[in-house]
Chain A
Amino acid sequence: MAHKVILVSCVSGTATAETTAAKIRKIAAERKWDVSVKVAEFRKLKEAVPGCDVLVQIAPSDPTDYGIPKISGVPFLTGFELDETIETLDKIIKAESPKEPEKTD
């Protein structure tokens, strides 16, 4: 299992993202995930995404495709549907990193 980087993002990258990141770090330790968890504010998300493997986004509503899997961070705050969210994240963490697609053109 290769090392993965989880990026957590909220409006300001402070209260809710830091709180969510703390919860994810705890879950990561329990599950022995080989991950690091970073936090970014929404406005700087595009610059923060490169090098990250999964985006955990809390707010605002944002349909942008950042090219990496994206899941909602709200369950880490509420506990509502948290087990399902952890399983989704678990699958992403344990997936083999996709190889860089070879450019054909």
Chain B
Amino acid sequence: MPAADQKTSNQERYKHNSNQRDQVTNFLHEEHILVGVEAASWQEVLTLLANQLYKSGYVRESYLQAVQDREHQFPTGLRTAEVAVALPHTEKEHVLKPAVAIAILKHPVIFGEMGTEDQTVPVEIVFMLSIRDPDEQVIWLSRLVSTFQLKGFLSLLKSSPDAAAGYQHLLDALEFIRLAEEED
């Protein structure tokens, strides 16, 4: 590539980077990361996370009941290679702003397994999604899901001593995924 083109491309890349960074920080907030959560049931975990999103104005009051109902009917527990996760979410009419709220559980909590009627998964990290427009949010959603596939990442996230550490691990992993996408 000629030097001039390279320079333009770097500038564009830089611009692109800062846009994406803004996008990540739009939906990922340290206040939505709960560490060392002790819960006896998935209902309890969902209540904690939904309340967190409600308190900070990301979801409507109706979100809690809606996300519980949906998880009951269509469970979202997922086995991964390392640490099982769950992705509770619900219809957009209960959502005000896009976000992800995360609970790192002290002890595994049983969730139903996504796509099954009666299988269960002992979940250790819960990512509650509030989504309004999947077309707009699909970039960060797919990056978030890609972090689950980074070797060691979920184990590292699980061991976060506090919300600040968890937040930083997530930012780093999302940035790594974004850079890997650019390499392609």
Contacts and interface: CB of A to CB of B under 8 A. Distances in A.
B80 A80 contact: yes
A79 B141 contact: no
Nearest to A58: B115
A45 interface: no
Interface in B83-139: 85, 87, 89, 91-92, 114-117, 129, 131, 134-135, 137-139
Chain A interface residue bracket vs B: 20 to 34
Most B Cβ at <10 Å: residue of A12, A26, A78: A78
Given A59-B74, A79-B148, A72 B115 contact: yes
Interface in A36-85: 57-61, 72, 74, 76-80, 82
A12 B4 CA distance: 47
A23 B184 CA distance: 13
Interface in B43-68: none
A74 B78 contact: yes
A61 B116 CA distance: 5
Taking chain A's interface residues, is the majority helix, strand, or loop, or is none over half, making it mixed?
Answer: helix
A38 to B, nearest CB: 14
Nearest to B84: A78
B15 to A, nearest CB: 22
A25 B5 CA distance: 28
B179 interface: no
Contact of B131 (A15, A23, A26): A15
A62 to B, nearest CB: 8
B103 to A, nearest CB: 18
B78 A78 contact: yes
B7 interface: no
Interface string B169-184: 0000000000001001
Given A16-B87, A30-B184, A74 B115 contact: yes
A11 B74 CA distance: 8
A19 interface: yes
Most B Cβ at <10 Å: residue of A26, A29, A59, A72: A59
19 contacts: A14-B92, A14-B131, A15-B87, A15-B129, A15-B137, A23-B142, A29-B184, A57-B115, A59-B115, A60-B74, A60-B115, A61-B115, A72-B115, A76-B145, A77-B78, A78-B78, A78-B79, A78-B145, A78-B149
Interface of A: 11-12, 14-16, 18-19, 21-23, 26, 29-30, 57-61, 72, 74, 76-80, 82
Query: Which 10 A-B residue pairings sit nearest by Cβ, starting from the closest?
Result: A79-B149, A18-B134, A22-B142, A14-B134, A59-B115, A78-B80, A19-B141, A61-B117, A18-B138, A11-B74
